[in-house]
Amino acid sequence: MPLFSLRPNPCPNKQFRQLLGVGFGALMACAAAQADSLLIRNARIISGDHPQVQAPQDVLINQGRIQAIGRQLGSADRELDAHGQYLIPGLIDTHVHLDGVPGYAGSHPEDEPMLREARVQIPRSYAYFGFTTVLDLTGDAGFIAKWNAQALAPKAYFCAPVTIPNGYPLAWLDKNAQFQAAASRYMLFDPAQADVYPDGFPRQAHTPAAVVVQARRDGARCIKVFHETGFGRQRNLPTPSLALIRAVVAQAHQLGLPVYLHGNSQASYEFALQAGVDTLVHGMWHENKGGNQSAAQGGWARMAREILKAGIAVQPTVQVLYGEQEELNPDFFNDPKVVHAIPQSLARWYQGAAGQWMRKVLAEGIEGGAKNPAEQYETMKAAYQRPLGTVRQMTRQLLQAGVPLRFGSDTLSGPFYTQFPGVNGRWEMDRWLEMGISLPRLFTALTIENARALGLERTIGSVQVGAQADLLLLEQNPLQSVAAYDTIVLLILNGKAVDRQELSARGSKGAAQ
Ligand SMILES: [Zn+2]
């Protein structure tokens, strides 16, 4: 008899019954090896399409789908007792940028192990904070396919970024790099800049119709356009004409693709109204210059009603501003959530001289000269009060008007370690509550409404028979407190159960893989 048969079978019982949280991790290998069906007993379901706590029921998952919901559903390869716990749909973030390691711009071979560990951890960090589906608003098909091949990653979709030369975001690239194949794939031929294109630039392949058709062929779920005159070192950038964007919108709608507009100013909100886009992907934090805030608010209320009438949804993305501000927070790395998102080696690098580069850029921009870090942080917070006030007030106007608000964290909007994947979405939830958005509304925005935005409401965003099994088990009720999202004990990612602790960056094993 070979020796190995004397070892105890790690998966001894097909009818294995297991209380949650007790040695669950050890069962994962068994789950992968044998189980296709999972029975969750006694769960209090809260579905995206029906945000109320239901009486305890059993949920049978088979081959990655919810097969049945009810009582006495028979047995399964694995069973869990979820008594006292809440079963909700996996969360959906419709504004992320998945490529790259936050705040890392160089290419030093000695950093490679750290970067490898970070790349392994990033998808897990999204999942750790409950995100099972994400939309990359400036994605490309090749990268998204690779992302989706990872074992413990939220499922990603992408929007094709339709750009003009020298505009946002291409202006951050070298003049020639913007015309190279990858960057210019969905670039428009802009008649207002006819002389900037290199000789032989194939104009016919870059009409609004042609780039939208190309995006659709590449598998994009949506089109992203930009109305941004710049910030930081890049200002007075050209923006696409209304005629150009209207033509993009017409073609996109003909092919069933929604159009997302990057815009965060009063001017870009007006542009969105005229262009007929579907979603504005930032809150409005730049008001018209020289205006008096209280006088402007009548105009904002009117604009909110027009946005409602035009059928445009808005992502407030307040965490964009917090990400910038918190880069100067000396206590940032002491936040207890951070350790679960950022691998230790990368956190150490961020706090060293090389990793502090963006913090230094921001600190140098503070008026009145350098002081100690605590004072710099206070000055920074004071500087962000006005844009934060504007975006909060405008979001309240949108709420009052009844404009649909979409949950999108814009992870990450710049080279900031403060917007690390997963945790940044969790903080955006806090920002929503601060603006007076109710917990049920936050819950539906994170689930069914984002599923609808992706055209996937039959597959994700609710707990219903036939849906993809992307689910979270929580110890607390997310309709009662936002902190309930911190009590996830188990994720079911495309039908596979994963203990939340396995996803934490603390004890990350990425570098060894
Ligand atoms: Zn973005």
CATH number, domain of 15, equals 2.30.40.10
Give the pLDDT score at 413.
86
Ligand 1 midpoint to CA 240 (Å): 18
Q: How many domains does the chain have?
A: 1
Distance from the alpha carbon of residue 95 to the mean position of ligand 1, in angstroms: 6
C-alpha 317 to ligand 1 mean position (Å): 9
How far does the centroid of ligand 1 lie from the alpha carbon of residue 87, in Å?
30
Q: How far is the CA of 231 from the centre of ligand 1 (A)?
A: 14
Q: Give 409 Cα–ligand 1 centroid separation in angstroms.
A: 8
Distance from Cα 72 to the centre of ligand 1, integer Å = 46
Alpha-carbon distance of 334 to 224, in angstroms, equals 36
With respect to residue 68, please indicate whether it lies within any of the assigned structural domains. yes
For ligand 1, the distance from its centroid to the CA atom of residue 404, given in whole angstroms, is 19
Residue 486 lies in a domain: yes
Query: Which helix or strand (DSSP H or E) is residue 244 part of?
Result: helix 242-254
- Residue 410 domain flag: no
Q: How far is the CA of 491 from the centre of ligand 1 (A)?
A: 26
Cα 338 to ligand 1 centroid, rounded to whole Å: 21
Question: From ligand 1's centre to the CA of 412, what distance in Å?
Answer: 7
Find the 136 Cα to ligand 1 centroid distance in Å.
8
Gap from CA of 451 to ligand 1 centroid (Å): 19
State which residues have CB under 5 angstroms from ligand 1, the bound ion. 410
Residue 114 lies in a domain: no
Ligand 1 centroid to residue 56 C-alpha, Å: 39
Identify whether 76 is part of a domain. yes
Residue 34: give the domain boundaries. Answer: 5-90+469-507
Per-residue pLDDT, 370? 60
Question: The tokens of 217 are what?
Answer: 């062929």
C-alpha 314 – ligand 1 centre gap (Å): 13
Contact 478, 86 (CB under 8 A): yes
Domain for residue 81, yes or no?
yes
**Distance from residue 441's CA to the centre of ligand 1 (Å):** 23
Ligand 1 centre distance from Cα of residue 235 (Å)? 18
DSSP secondary structure of 426-473: HHHHHHHHHTT--HHHHHHIIIIIHHHHTT-TTTSSS--TTSB--EEE
What's the CA-to-centroid distance between 94 and ligand 1, angstroms? 10
- List average pLDDT for each run of 10 residues in the chain, which is 513 residues long: 31 34 39 68 96 97 96 92 98 97 92 96 98 96 97 96 94 87 93 95 97 98 94 86 98 98 93 97 81 73 96 97 94 97 97 92 78 90 92 94 97 92 98 96 98 97 97 98 98 95 82 41
pTM of the entire predicted model: 0.91
Query: What's the CA gap between 280 and 442, in Å, rounded?
Result: 18
| Distant-in-sequence contacts of 397-400, Cβ < 8 A, 24+ apart | 397/297, 397/300, 397/301, 397/303, 397/304, 398/304, 398/307, 398/314, 398/316, 399/435, 399/436, 399/437, 400/301, 400/304
Measure Cα distances from 368 to 278, 329, 330, 379, 382 in Å: 42, 18, 19, 9, 13
CA distance to 12, 451, 468, 486, per residue, from 495 (Å): 21, 18, 7, 21
Distance 219 CA to ligand 1 centre (A): 19
What's the CA-to-centroid distance between 333 and ligand 1, angstroms? 24
Ligand 1 midpoint to CA 403 (Å): 20
- Cα of 411 vs centre of ligand 1, distance in Å, is 7
Ligand 1 center to 400 CA (angstroms): 25
Contact 261, 246 (CB under 8 A): no
* CA 97 to ligand 1 center in whole angstroms: 6
Establish if 187 belongs to a structural domain: no
Q: What is the reported pLDDT for 18? A: 37
Q: Is residue 263 in a domain?
A: no
Q: Tell me, in angstroms, the distance from the centre of ligand 1 to residue 224's CA.
A: 10
